[in-house]
Homo-oligomer: A and B are copies of this chain.
Amino acid sequence: MHSAYAGEVSEEIRSRAERKERTRQRLLDVTLRLIADRSLSSLSLREVAREAGIVPTAFYRHYASMDALGVDLVDDSMRPLRQMIRDARRGRTAHGDIIVETVAVLAKQVRDHPDQFRFLTRERYGGVGPVRRAIATELKLFTSELTVDLARLTTGFDWSADDLEMAASLMVGAMLSTVMDLLETDERHPEDVHAILDKAERQLRMIALGMGQWRSKP
């Protein structure tokens, strides 16, 4: 619980700005941890402050409200998703099945950052206005990244921009469903996880088959 050498293991903190940043990060971390099985709106400012080891009023030195913290948390939680795109693109250049690689990357990111993904999927529609809009914006960005990738894969088939976006959002939707299924699965049942990932692969493969047959309206 407490290491006698903790103070010597971690770097010394002298700067005031640095201390503030630490506290801010701590606020984000405990919030993410606390909403593992509840919604952000059911979380009180006092509870977050208490868990972060500061007095309620000190919270205001960092955020004007819990909503503001929530919006900030969206940025923070999007990092694993952005990393996912980079990893997936790297996997693409290597030999092997694109779909298998993509699902594998997805599974790894969800396994490594469950709280972030839980927050995003939970608050995507269930959250309060500002948070919901922030997530919608980021996911639209994510979808348009995928649209770019799809455009590269469909050169010569004259897909319309609208159809590319349609296909991309279908894929993103399937992937988000997969994420939520993964998060609701007890990780001590590896066969369940495998079934979910297998289903995700088949779904993406079926969409790919559909794309192969698709012809955009002129």
Contact = CB atoms under 8 A, between A and B. Distances in A.
Contacts of A128: 38-39, 42
Interface string A8-29: 0000000000000000000000
A166 B207 contact: no
Interface in A115-142: 121-129, 136
B125 A180 contact: yes
Contacts of A211: 206, 210
Interface stretch (A55-63, A74-82, A85-93, A168-176): A168-176
A159 to B, nearest CB: 11
Contact of A213 (B127, B166, B169, B212): B212
A41 interface: yes
A161 to B, nearest CB: 13
A138 to B, nearest CB: 15
A108 interface: no
Contacts of A202: 163, 166
Interface string A145-166: 0000000000000000011001
A177 interface: yes
Contacts of A123: 126
Contact of A127 (B126, B208, B209, B212): B126
B199 A206 contact: no
Q: Which 9 pairs from chain A and chain B are nearest by CB?
A: A126-B126, A210-B210, A206-B210, A41-B42, A209-B210, A209-B213, A173-B177, A122-B126, A170-B203
